[in-house]
Amino acid sequence: MSKDNSDRLRITEIFFSLQGESRSIGFPTVFIRLTGCPLRCAYCDSAYAFQGGEWQQIQAIVEQVASYKPRFVTVTGGEPLAQKNVHRLLTSLCDQGFNVSLETSGAIDISAVDIRVSRVVDVKTPGSGEASRNRWENLLCLNKNDQIKFVLVDRADYEWAIEKVREHDLSNKCEVLFSPVWGSLAPRELADWIVEDRLNIRFQLQLHKILWGDEPGR
């Protein structure tokens, strides 16, 4: 392996599955899960990515992705932006013509992400235990190619999320997604609230959890 640390990333897993959430839900997608995250959300389903992983060269990662011949590629974590070299990976994937999305906690600056990437920014609610880590300046960077995601634990999270959507005029900046925490908030209950309040947001379930639970690599 090259001794040049500028062209490598620590990777937990690379796998081919169905996109379980966001705009491209249901489409076959290659997932690149980076290792490490500075947050500890109460409902995290990928804590196995906090540590470990293996160093891989960016070119090797791109070649492995290309071997699946995908249309969609998602870079996730952990928190991908915690590794500065992720920007080189994202640009390389875009240069190959893939439809690339980045799943990020919203705690780290997203402004340097390649404009061709769809940034899926998770706004941390009080129920996550990490609401104080939100980097609100990120919301000023959003465009129509991006998506904002609120993962909701309960009714208090729901009302908090509505307030933030209105406060930052998020529905007019990008697509807004509300998702219930699996096992904490009943999907039907959240769906009823959204319909009753006539919100201009998209309700979503985590398809991968319905199909495979919390099984890594799925």
pLDDT tens-digit map of 61-72: 999 999 999 999
Q: For the whole model, what pTM was predicted?
A: 0.91
Cα–Cα distance for residue pair 159/11, rounded to 1 Å: 36
Q: Which of 86, 17, 19 is nearest to 58 (CA)?
A: 86
Is the pLDDT at 1 greater than 50, yes or no?
no
pLDDT digits (tens, 9 = 90+) for 73-87: 999 999 999 999 999
Cα–Cα distance for residue pair 42/208, rounded to 1 Å: 19
Parse the chain into domains and list their residue ranges.
5-212
5-212 has which CATH code? 3.20.20.70
pLDDT of residue 95: 98
Cα–Cα distance for residue pair 96/67, rounded to 1 Å: 12
